Amino acid sequence: MTARDLTRLTALQMADGLAAGEFTSVELTQAHLDRIERLNPSLNAYLLVDAEGALATAANVDAARAAGEDLPRLAGVPVAVKDIACTRGLPTTAGSRMLEHFVPPYDATIVTRLKDARMPILGKTNMDEFAMGSSTEHSAFGPTRNPWDLERIPGGSGGGSSAAVAAYLAPLAIGSDTGGSIRQPAAVTGSVGVKPTYGAVSRYGIIALASSLDQIGPCARTVADAALLHEVLAGHDPMDSTSIDAPVPPVVAAATGTRDLTGLRVGVVKEIAREGYQEGVSRCFEEALQHLRDLGAQVVEVSCPHFVHAMAAYYLIQPSEASSNLARYDAMRYGSRTTPEGSPSAEQVMAASRDAAFGDEVKRRIILGTYALSSGYYDAYYGQAQKVRTLIAGDFTAAFEQADVLVSPTTPTTAFRIGDKLDDPMAMYLNDIATIPANLAGVPGMSIPSGVADEDGLPVGFQLLAPAMEDQRLYAVGAALEARLAEAQGGYVFEKAPEIEVQA
């Protein structure tokens, strides 16, 4: 096989090929590193590439395999890590100038798990600063570009991970999803992204945006690949108090099991499925529903009346928690320090450093969150938002009595052009209208590509939602639909992406 061919395999095929001795992990890893070297200057998907570390792990796995050692399923399969996860000895920036030179002295739990699974870590992927954004344009280190069209955004905040996976710069990547940052980038890059149940994957070592909303999950090109990575990431962690102490749902079995959906009830959420969507997005959605019916599912319409307030609740809770989580970036113990002239106090140095090192979107949300929590406004804003959260969780509970999974388009539109919404924060926020309710309630969600919009030739995402701790339902339904779509459309959506033209 040529190096180019190796990167085109699914993670499952890579794992099987490694196990069968068809190629080595060093070859596989090097193939990805070569491709990164060639294409990353155009895509800016990676902020940091750790060729040395990745190859060392790969060589180690190859030696172990040669010695006949029993190895984890994904041993030797490379992975990319969003730059929101702390990696010991490797700079971790969260896409911010503030942490430009920050080198963590510890690994996030999920990074330890990747290392335990013996997966070579290719590097750290680009993201909106502190995961605030839906386009990766808010990265302090330049935007990531969409492999389908370099003039367009790859989604956000995890645009680096989604672009890396879609452009074959990695078979698998880590994402974090606070309001859609895994699912929305997956949708606009034709890849698969899963936000597991809140608490299913440890947040220890993940740079926090909004603690009660953040969740780590897999980015991949296929549902089965996502399931394999999900299984590596998930599980109880005593270092995270909100971690679920229960067995991981059987996601791999679900993703590779029956394709028959007879008897499955699929609920179309009226409030986030029918109105305000780009034409191609709506058409792909309706077609996917028909495919589900063809697979034996019963499609019903359900109503979640409070979802219309989800955006407002989200844009109070998330900035509020973020304003507190980001307070630690004061340039006293670490971070970029800016010292004004004269003999400034610690207070003045903090304020100057935070002004200099934070981007506009981060400042907007910190100020909004600080305001929402401040005395006299708490009840009207943060307190109310927490109540709306209860109502939204109640909507989910009621809806899941009528349906086994809920569905909607993942995003209102396909990938928009870089710069289009940069000066209009409200327009940017509206990208997350369908993904946010899951974060507020803590339920798992998945986006899989359902086709390409006729009008612009760009991929469209289909969102699946399941009850808390029933993540396997997403994989069962997602895999069945994915297979059906591939059959009907003559191949996977991600395979339809044009080859990237290398910039001079």
Partner 1 sequence: MSNLSRDDVAHVAMLARIQLEDHELDRLAGQLDQIVDWVGQINEVAAADVPPMSHPLPLVNVTRPDEVRPSLTQQQALANAPDPEGGRFGVPRILDEE
Partner 2 sequence: MTATTDRTVPYADALTRYEPVMGLEVHVELSTATKMFCGCATEFGAEPNTQTCPVCLGLPGALPVVNRTAVESAIRIGLALNCRIAEWCRFARKNYFYPDMPKNFQTSQYDEPIAFDGWLDVEVPANEAGEPPFTFRVEIERAHMEEDTGKSTHVGGATGRIHGADYSVVDYNRAGIPLIEIVTKPLVGAGDRAPEVARAYVAALRDLLRALDVTHGRMEQGNIRCDANVSLMPIGSEVLGTRTETKNVNSLRSVERAVRYEITRHAAVLDAGEKVFQETRHWHEDTGITTAGRPKSDADDYRYFPEPDLVPVAPSREEVERLRATLPENPAERRKRLQGEWGFSDLEMRDVVNAGAVEVIEETVAAGASPAAARKWWTGDLARRANADGVAVTDLGVTPAHIAELDGLVTGGRLNDSMARQVMDGVVAGEGTPTQVADARGLELVQDDGALQAAVDKVIAANADVAEKIKGGKVQAAGALIGQVMKEMRGQADAAKARELILATLGVEG
Q: Which is nearer to partner 2, 202 or 222 (CB)?
A: 202
Residues 6+ apart with CB under 8 A from 288: 407, 450, 451, 462, 481, 485
The yes-or-no answer on residue 82 being catalytic is yes
Residue 260 interacting partner from partner 2, partner 1, none (CB closer than 5 to 8 Å by kind) = none
Under the criterion CB under 8 A, does residue 427 sit at the interface with partner 1?
Answer: no
353 is catalytic: no
Please state, in angstroms and rounded to a whole number, the distance separating the CA atoms of residues 78 and 429: 33
Residues that bind partner 2 (CB under 8 A): 85-86, 92, 94, 99, 102, 104-106, 108, 203-208, 210-212, 238-242, 320-321, 323-324, 327-330, 332-334, 346-347, 350, 370, 373-375, 378, 382
> Helix (H, G, I), strand (E, B), or coil: what is residue 236?
coil
For residue 111, give every residue at least 6 positions away whose Cβ sits within 8 Å of its Cβ, in sequence order, or none. Answer: 81, 85, 86, 87, 88, 121, 205
The reply to whether 244 sits near partner 1 by the rule CB under 8 A is yes
Q: From 255, 249, 233, 115, select the one nearest 174 (Cα to Cα).
A: 233
Which of 225, 330, 404, 482: binder of partner 1 (CB under 8 A)?
330
454 binding partner 1? (CB under 8 A): no
- Cα angle 181-187-191, degrees, rounded to a multiple of 5: 100
Beta carbon of residue 240, minimum distance to partner 2 (angstroms, whole number): 5
Closest CA to 345 of 356, 353, 334, 336: 353
Kindly tell me which of 163 and 322 has the beta carbon lying closer to partner 2: 322
Rounded CA-CA distance 66/327 in Å is 49
441, interface contact from partner 1, partner 2, none, CB < 5-8 Å by kind: partner 1
Quick one: which of 150, 337, 422, 496 contacts partner 1 (CB under 8 A)? 337
Q: How many CA atoms lie within 13 A of 136 on its CB side?
A: 41
- Angstrom CA distances, 434 to 3, 169, 191, 209, stand at 39, 28, 17, 19
Give me the catalytic one of 181, 202, 282, 336: 181
- Please, what is the minimum distance in Å from the beta carbon of residue 337 to partner 1? 4
Active-site residue, from 82, 124, 195, 421: 82
Which has the closest alpha carbon to 144: 169, 161, 168, 121?
161
- Please tell me whether residue 347 binds partner 1 under the rule CB under 8 A: yes
Query: Which position among 142, 383, 419, 491 is part of the footprint of partner 1 (CB under 8 A)?
Result: 383
Residue type, position 325, single letter: N
> Residue 406: which of partner 2, partner 1, none does it interact with, CB under 5 to 8 A by kind?
none
85 beta partners: 206
CB of 321 to partner 2, least distance (A): 6
* Stretch (H or E) spanning 396: helix 384-402
309's contact among partner 2, partner 1, none, with CB below 5 to 8 A by partner kind, is: partner 1
Helix (H) or strand (E) holding 462: strand 459-465
Tell me how crowded residue 182 is: count the other CB atoms within 10 A of its CB.
35
Point out which span in 59-67, 112-120, 240-248, 408-416 binds partner 1 (CB under 8 A). 240-248
Cα 464 from chain centre: 15
Residues 6+ apart with CB under 8 A from 184: 134, 155, 156, 410, 411, 431, 432, 435, 447, 461
- Nearer to partner 2 by Cβ, of 2 and 375: the residue is 375
Measured from the CB atom, the residue of 170 and 366 that comes closer to partner 1 is 366
- Cα distances (Å, whole numbers) of residue 161 to 127, 271, 421, 472: 8, 29, 21, 23
Residue whose CB is less far from partner 1, 290 or 390: 390
SS3 463: strand
On whether the CB atoms of residues 255 and 226 are closer than 8 A, the answer is yes
> Residue 204 CB, nearest distance to partner 2 (Å)?
5
**Does 465 engage in binding with partner 1 (CB under 8 A)?**
no
| Catalytically annotated residue among 96, 134, 157, 243 | 157
Which of partner 2, partner 1, none sits in contact with 352, Cβ below 5 to 8 A by type?
partner 1
Please say whether the beta carbons of 280 and 454 come within 8 A: yes
Number of residues that bind partner 1 (CB under 8 A): 70
Upstream peptide bond of 139 is cis (omega within 30 degrees of 0):
no
181 is catalytic: yes
112 binds partner 1, rule: CB under 8 A: no
Q: Which of 56, 352, 422, 486 binds partner 1 (CB under 8 A)?
A: 352
Q: Which of 235, 250, 344, 457 binds partner 1 (CB under 8 A)?
A: 344
Q: Does 328 bind partner 1 (CB under 8 A)?
A: no
The residues that touch partner 1, with contacts defined as CB under 8 A, are 101-103, 105-106, 198-199, 212-213, 238, 241-242, 244, 306, 309, 312-313, 315-316, 323, 327, 330-335, 337, 339, 343-352, 354-355, 358, 360, 363-364, 366-368, 370-372, 374, 380-381, 383-391, 393, 425-426, 440-442, 468
Tell me which residues are annotated as active site: 82, 157, 181
